[in-house]
Amino acid sequence: MGKSNLLSFFKTYLIITIGLFINALGWTAFLIPAEITGGGITGVATVIFYATEIPVWIPYLMINLILIVVSIKILGKSFGIKTIYSTVVLTLFFSVLQGLITEPIVTENFMSSVVGGILAGAGVGIVFSQGGSTGGTDIIAMIINKYRNISPGKIILYADVLIISSSFLIFKSIEKTVYGYVTMAVTAYAIDLILTGAKRTVQLFIFSKKYDEIARRVTQDINRGITLIDGTGWYTKQESKILMVLVKKQESNSLLRIIKEIDPDAFISVNNVMGVYGRGFDRIKA
């Protein structure tokens, strides 16, 4: 493994670890102290905790280990080392944080459900953005999908509704069940926001007399392709060259700095793009 590949490897797992910590913090600091049940295997572990006071990490680890063994047998090594890593690290975070945080940080249940849902969803979104998986209901969905033509998304949704509804058997409280559904919705929104934010792309049209120098710098420094378009100014009737480039949102500031260095008077149009498919961006999955 080369030095650059090694750095990329450690960076990926560092980001996954941060995402797992954020997820665990959302559960242990906001949801569990407020007795709010979310979805997934963590939701099952919290229901068991509410009923028996067995720490969340124990049923979480046991259920996930069973699911991982079953998935390897039925699906093969589909989820890979990242799922096992996520399960072990998240178990560690649950065991430490649940021991440290014994009192609710927020006393208002609605705020706990929203903040906890945001943190839990953001953590999962960060893990997903690095190609990782937290296992759990994802594994169940993939196993069922192998034998039945049911989308994994629907299976996960049904499972989450069932898990959250089961908390009513313990608390006999419609209010806590509703807060669980609020958490589920906020978590799903946070996951989507993180994933779409990581893939967000912008399209720039650059009008400059120094187009050739700008194009060379963008190609060298950002490693993005550029399309050169012939144009004619309607008012001046003069021919001009237009650069069209697509870059990730996080790359746009670097691109603007390059343009400013070369031609501070350049005219630039920046537009958000719904999706970009092809080399250097997303693959067509339809």
What sign has the CA pseudo-torsion 211, 215, 221, 222?
Answer: positive
**Residue 236 has what DSSP assignment?**
T
Cα(230)–Cα(235) distance, integer angstroms: 16
Report pLDDT digits (tens) over 4-62: 678 878 888 899 999 999 999 999 999 999 999 998 899 999 999 999 999 999 999 99
- Amino acid 113: pLDDT: 94
Strands 201-207, 226-232: pairing is unpaired
Residue range 237-252: average pLDDT? 86
CATH class of 200-273: alpha beta
For the chain, give every domain's residue range: 3-198, 200-273
Q: pTM to 2 decimals? A: 0.72
Report pLDDT digits (tens) over 164-197: 999 999 988 899 999 999 999 999 888 888 877 6
Contact 123, 29 (CB under 8 A): no
